[in-house]
Chain A
């Protein structure tokens, strides 16, 4: 084999490299001719610096986490200790103001499901401390105090809770059947966040990359931002309109994070108990609960959203507080 133009010989390779470098230099010189230098104003003009707004400072991000932790603690204290509906309403308004309108619905524990999944599925994905805290703090709070996060801290729950005007009782069977939807949604969301959909059936193919379904179909985030794609705003308005008559439809039948909390709340340390040890089994609380969470005359932890509506319907609770019971007492007297 001749030595001259063998591509594998070292000399030819160096020659090629040299040619490449020369070509690159030449093109650099040519393109440099087109580049116009900034003019020399002779000191009459100072170049303005382009502004780059800083991202949120680390301490503001820490404040979010602190607000979440404080909100969870406050919610637990209001619902379990103070047993106050007024307190829950105030906390809800605070949550809508801070996590909703100020933070524009991001970050939230519901969406954090996807960040956590993605960072577990793909080690290159960056996850921030804030997201970790937002995902795990409500889980811990639920193991300790039940679904207090749903009760007054979640802005999505709070906005539905405040628009609830005239709750209609949903048939129990339908309620239970729809109660499986959060887990279907959770599965879909986790799958799409971590892996995406790649299906091939013969010549028919579906290729969808990773998507954050929960965020793309979030009903209320568009309202908090007062902007967004049409489908998000439309779903939001629909949920608000429906939520006036059906208690918190998103929380009960769609929210994937609510599904997680429902499982954990079954073994929570403290529970919502309307009159522990002194039940008269009058059933007034069951009528006061707009979420069908009072089953067999006791609050069912998995579906109790810790809204504190039931307390004031209870004659025993009224007596404890020294409030004249009114109609409630009459009903109790009539019962044998």
Chain B
């Protein structure tokens, strides 16, 4: 009985050591291949604003939001990303429809205000992230030549849950969701 149990113990022990060595070796092998920590981000040059960012994220309210780069924004009164330029104009000739289905793109008058003629004013455009669902309609409308390309889609790390594999990346037809290392990842690229 005791002899049998010692033999069994010996076999179990060897298997255990073998297992530990294998596990340790595989972990060591993989560590050589790592590149620190990585996050997902939208490559604005590849993105075609196909709307899949809105629907593919594992969160029901996507982690992708539109972001306005103020340095590139023209502060226009007739912003093609804010108002639907083809919609019915009001009595002053300003289109009444809006591009954003969620009304998430907000604007306010900045600089010297001309109360008489709204066409003379500059407007600051800010995306309300609580409303934005990442559909990218404003980004598309802001592309050249109509716009400056100051709006772009971005994965917001305050919302992203860092899935093992990004569901949007799988869905993206343009391969625009890229994996980048965390240091120096700021996605502030030039306008397209």
Contact = CB atoms under 8 A, between A and B. Distances in A.
Interface string A15-52: 00000000000000001001111110110110111111
A111 B110 contact: no
B72 interface: yes
B144 A268 contact: no
A54 interface: yes
A106 B27 contact: no
Interface in B110-129: 110-112, 122, 124, 126
B59 A225 contact: yes
B30 A56 contact: no
A143 B12 CA distance: 10
A41 B182 contact: no
B73 interface: yes
A216 B68 CA distance: 32
Contacts of B167: 215-216
Contacts of A156: none
Nearest to B124: A48
Interface residues of A, number: 66
A38 B73 contact: yes
B164 A136 contact: no
B142 to A, nearest CB: 11
B72 A115 contact: no
A76 interface: no
Contact of A126 (B13, B35, B161, B163): B35
A105 to B, nearest CB: 8
B120 to A, nearest CB: 11
A105 B163 CA distance: 9
Interface string A193-229: 0000000000000000111100110000100010111
Contact of A112 (B148, B161, B164): B164
B148 A36 contact: yes
Given A49-B70, A50-B67, A131 B110 contact: no
B interface secondary structure, majority? loop
Interface string A104-142: 111110011011101110010011111110011001100
A269 B76 CA distance: 71
A49 B145 CA distance: 24
Contacts of B181: 126
A267 B122 contact: no
B16 interface: yes
A52 B19 contact: no
Contacts of A108: 164
Given A35-B148, A36-B148, A107-B164, A50 B185 contact: no
B131 interface: no
A interface secondary structure, majority? loop
Contacts of B137: none
A143 B20 contact: yes
B164 A114 contact: yes
B112 A143 contact: no
Interface string B9-51: 0001101100110011011001101111111000000000000
A234 to B, nearest CB: 14
B74 A36 contact: yes
Contacts of A118: 165
Contact of B111 (A31, A39, A136, A215): A39
Contacts of A41: 110-112, 122
Interface string B59-77: 1110000011111111110
B10 to A, nearest CB: 11
B165 A115 contact: yes
Interface in A51-94: 51-56, 58, 61
Given A128-B38, A132-B31, A140-B23, A39 B16 contact: no
Contact of B71 (A47, A114, A129): A47
A103 to B, nearest CB: 8
Contact of A127 (B34, B59, B74): B34
A216 B57 CA distance: 11
B59 A119 contact: no
Nearest to B27: A136
Interface of A: 31, 34-39, 41-42, 44-45, 47-56, 58, 61, 104-108, 111-112, 114-116, 118-120, 123, 126-132, 135-136, 139-140, 143, 209-212, 215-216, 221, 225, 227-229, 232, 264, 266-269
Interface of B: 12-13, 15-16, 19-20, 23-24, 26-27, 30-31, 33-39, 58-61, 67-76, 110-112, 122, 124, 126, 144-146, 148, 154, 156-158, 160-165, 167, 170, 179, 181-182, 185-188
11 contacts: A50-B70, A53-B156, A55-B182, A105-B161, A106-B163, A111-B163, A118-B165, A128-B35, A128-B38, A228-B59, A228-B60
